[in-house]
Amino acid sequence: MKEVKGFEWRKAINFQLLGNLVVPIIAVIFAMVIGAIFMVSIGANPFEAYWVLVKSSFGGTRNIFETLVNATPLIFTGLSVAFAFRCGLFNIGGEGQFLVAYITAAWVGAFFNMPMWIHIPLTLLAAMLAGAIWGGIPGLLKAKLGVHEVISTIMFNYIGLYLVNLLIRTVLMAPGTLPATPKIAKTAQFARFIRGSRLNWSIFVAALAALIIYWILWKTTIGYEVRAVGLNPFAAEYGGISVARNIILAMAISGALSGLAGASQVMGLELRALQPFGFIGHGFTGIAVALLGKNHPVGIILGALLFGTLQRGANMMQSIAGVPKEVIHIIQAIIIFFVASDYAVRKIYRKIKAKQAKREVNE
Amino acid sequence: MDVIALILASGLRSATPLMYAAIGGIFSERSGVVNIALEGIMLTGAFTAMLASYYTGSPWLGVLIAMIAGGLISLIHAFVSIEFRANQVVSGVAINLLASGLTSFFLRAIFKHAGQSPSVNSLGKLPIPIIKDIPFIGTILSGHSPLVYLALLSIVLAHFVLFKTTFGLRVRAVGEHPEAADTVGINVKKIRYICVVISGIMAGIGGATLSIGLLDLFTEDMTAGRGFIALAAVIFGKWTPFGAFVATLLFGIADAMQMLAQTLQITFLPREIWLMLPYILTLFALAGFIGRATPPAASGQPYDKED
């Protein structure tokens, strides 16, 4: 009896390892191989390309810093997708939430005057609020009217895109011909670390956000309720947890996190809001990051670093190795397919194990 | 009077790519597979149609290749979500990313510069005899790309297939209650595979309409959210071909108004408001302000006999 129990324990641990580490690593390797095939198909040298990628991402302080710059918004959007996911919700509205927060941060940053110790937190809060509203309304629609959040957040992405375009083109446009807001005040800017690198304080905000999300999810009642709803809404309701309230709350928090990505874009990088003609893609990449990171803050930081590296390397691969930078989208997509299919991987793994066990019994 | 006819004609043209993709979306969703990959499939269709026309000089071959390419890329979606039971939304997001990556990658690799392809042979415009001479009607209906007329036919055909044939009955059964369908001997997986591939073929033509039907070239990410508008039309039209037809026409006319307002510099409504309209209307539809919008019951649910 005891031996059987011990065996099951080992199996459980095996499964955990397989799901949490092995699958993402295999996914990345697999995707890189397929990426290489595409490179070969156009006559480029994949070894050279990947070497450029590694060198341009990790060679020297400046490159490492730029990789971190790329990873920062992905930490926010990855956390955003993951938080909603923990409540059983799919927030693919990160793009819209990013944009409304982006314009809000530019507005508060450029049109108000106050000391830095108020201006920075206020700009961040305003951006988070904008994101929270843009995520919260789909939450409300889901909780009260049963509108599926996937569809409503897609709709909100586009409404947000055109709204931000309209605002930058009209009331918030800086004098001149460039469709952009005025530059934000010094008091609303995140300081940069070194000259020649855009790395700024927002990386610490991202790390802090990851910590806080971890704390909320596993150390507070809110987090407990959100996760309970995500695991089984019916049981949660029966246990006295308001499903509707938690859906709205989770979507609002998720929106606020994507909003932080928008804020960091303005406060640390562009220092103004430029007219967006399409989506930047941070919200969509956030889905991949969350998936790869198993919806856990630590995993998300690792996932964001990986995708930050890929994005940084992609530009260099194009200019140095002559590989179109879009190869990175292909690699990302394959990673997503692979990680999303891990049910199948588990199933195959189970079948192999079952066969082995059978053989052992027969012997 | 003339202005109205021109707006309606332009609206019909704008609506055409949406009609194809929406028909695709209806088949996929009716069989229980959510398809937010329409955007990426359309993009694939637009690119491959241009490429085929570029290399062969035949735009009709372009349409055929777009259908095949759309079918193939949707097959990935079908395989991953039916066989591997991957989350259908995740798979859709990945398809969109993959399509955007593949098309831009090969655009750059083949034509050595980013942005857009050279111009290729397009399908041109086809006036309809007799109708073209009727004053008001002629302006609206005649002189479009052949794909515009085919889209109108496809709507009728899709309605017929979905509601008047055994296959259509099976599709709806699978989307509403796969277990029950299975019990009466319908192969749930097979039906879903067929429907997802149909959605890919249709969205592929929708993409071809953009690159070689209405224009004669491919530009990077040229679908610009039309796949999502088509999805909105599916919902707005309550998962029926005629409903989707009305929705796409409405969205197309909003688009035509926006373009006209821009050329005539009329600013009583900013163009961004016109562009938002399809999405806002769809939200209203979903929230139940414009009748009830109930998706097929099993939409998004993986089905596995073994469970």
Question: How many Å apart are CA B307 and CA B289, to the nearest integer?
Answer: 38
Nearest to A336 among B90, B225, B282 (CB): B90
Nearest to B86 among A150, A330, A340 (CB): A340
With CB atoms and an 8 Å threshold, state whether B105 touches A326. yes
Give the pLDDT score at A10: 57
Mean pLDDT of B19-34: 96
CA angle A267, A273, A277 (to 5 degrees): 135
Q: Which residues of B touch A140 (CB under 8 A)?
A: none
Note the ipTM here: 0.87
Give the pLDDT score at B292: 64
The pLDDT of residue A2 is above 60: no
The pLDDT of residue A360 is above 90: no
Q: Which residues of A touch B220 (CB under 8 A)?
A: none
- pLDDT tens digit sequence for A131-181: 999 999 999 999 999 888 998 999 999 999 999 999 999 898 888 888 899
Question: How many Å apart are CA B43 and CA B79, to the nearest integer?
Answer: 20
CB proximity A148 to B under 8 Å: yes
The pLDDT of residue A8 is above 80: no
CB proximity A304 to B under 8 Å: no
Give the pLDDT score at B146: 93
Q: Which of residues 43-102 of A touch B (CB under 8 A)?
A: 90, 92
Per-residue burial over A123-144, b if 16 or more Cβ lie within 10 Å, else e, is bbbbbbbbbbbbbbbbbbbbbe
With CB atoms and an 8 Å threshold, state whether B94 touches A38. no
Give, in order, the Cα–Cα distances in Å from B227 to each of A162, A249, B15, B20.
17, 30, 12, 10
**What DSSP string runs through A116-129?**
HHHHHHHHHHHHHH
Nearest CA in chain B to A93: B93
- pLDDT tens digit sequence for B144-182: 899 999 999 999 999 999 999 999 999 999 999 999 999
Q: Which residues of A touch B272 (CB under 8 A)?
A: 162-163, 165-166, 169
Domain locations along chain B: 17-117+143-231
The mean predicted confidence, pLDDT, of chain B is 90
Mean pLDDT of A118-129: 97
Picking from B84, B88, B106 by the largest number of A CB atoms within 10 A of its own CB, the best residue to mutate is B84
Nearest CA in chain A to B87: A340
Give the pLDDT score at B139: 80
The pLDDT of residue A344 is above 60: yes
With CB atoms and an 8 Å threshold, state whether B105 touches A341. no
Give the pLDDT score at A1: 38
Give the pLDDT score at B306: 58
Give the pLDDT score at B36: 92
> Among A107-111, A285-289, B249-253, B299-303, which is the least confidently predicted range?
B299-303
Question: What is the band of B1 on the pLDDT scale with cuts at 50, 70, 90?
Answer: low
Residue A278 CB: number of other CB atoms within 10 A? 11
Give, in order, the Cα–Cα distances in Å from B182 to each of A209, B174, B192.
47, 8, 12
